Amino acid sequence: MGRSKRIAATDLMPDFTGFSLDRGRYRILEILGCGSYGKVYLAEDNFAHPSNQKVFAIKCLSKPRHGSHADVLQQREFAYHKLVSGHPNVVTFYRHFSDGLFVYVVLDFCTGGDLYIAITEKRLFHHNERLIKNAFIQLVDAVEHCHNLGVYHRDIKPENVLVSEDGTHVCLADFGLSVMGSISQEFGCGSSCYMSPGAYYSFYFREFWLIK
């Protein structure tokens, strides 16, 4: 027998394309992508005046049990992201709402997707030192803004940076691992493939001895 495929949480989520959410306010236009914990959709505000129509990205997440550890972490993410939203290089967190099964987060829509795709598939930054420098400066500004407010992202990587279609504007996103406090006792936080060699081996040696 072949190895069974692991089912991700997003595999169990319905496709909301064509539906309206939040009592008809947001109409889902299309799916933008899937991650480990949620799906992201393009949506328009049905209640907005035609002259002020705008599209949003709506992230659909599983709704944790009220009062659980997962619920506390999710509410912390929302609070920290909302706190740092007032910066041009941080994805704006507008609001969130929920139903019986899911939580929906209304965010800015960035037309170019994430920085990883922009680098590896679109090759927007290939041999373009000016564009690279511009993106790096914007990220440094975003991180400084977060740190000035006491928020530390802890998972900065290309997949968590969104870009405009031409790559001239970048925004920091996904505050799921963020904390307030400049010192942390947690090990192995973030994505292992982006850890420095020292942090990577320290984490896995620690895990090895705990198992032993």
Instruction: Indicate which residue of 141, 155, 166, 174 is catalytic.
Output: 155
pTM of this prediction?
A: 0.83
Each domain of the chain, given as residue ranges in start order, spans 9-107, 115-211
Residue 108 a catalytic site member: no
**Sign of the alpha-carbon dihedral angle for 60, 68, 70, 108:** positive
* Residue (of 75, 53, 50) closest to 64 by Cα position: 75
The CATH homologous superfamily for domain 9-107 is: Phosphorylase Kinase; domain 1 (3.30.200.20)
Reported as a single tens digit per residue, the pLDDT across 151-200 is 999 999 999 999 999 999 999 999 999 999 877 766 666 666 776 666 55
- Cβ neighbour number for residue 56 with a 10 Å cutoff: 19
DSSP string for residues in 6-73: PPPGGGGSPP-TT-EETTTTEEEEEEEEE-SSEEEEEEEETTS-GGG--EEEEEEEEPPPTTSHHHHH
* Residue (of 5, 54, 61, 51) closest to 27 by Cα position: 54
Identify the CATH assignment for 115-211 out of 1.10.510.10, 3.40.50.10440, 1.20.58.1000, 3.40.50.720: 1.10.510.10
pLDDT value, residue 183: 73
Whether 9-107 shares its CATH topology with 115-211 is answered no
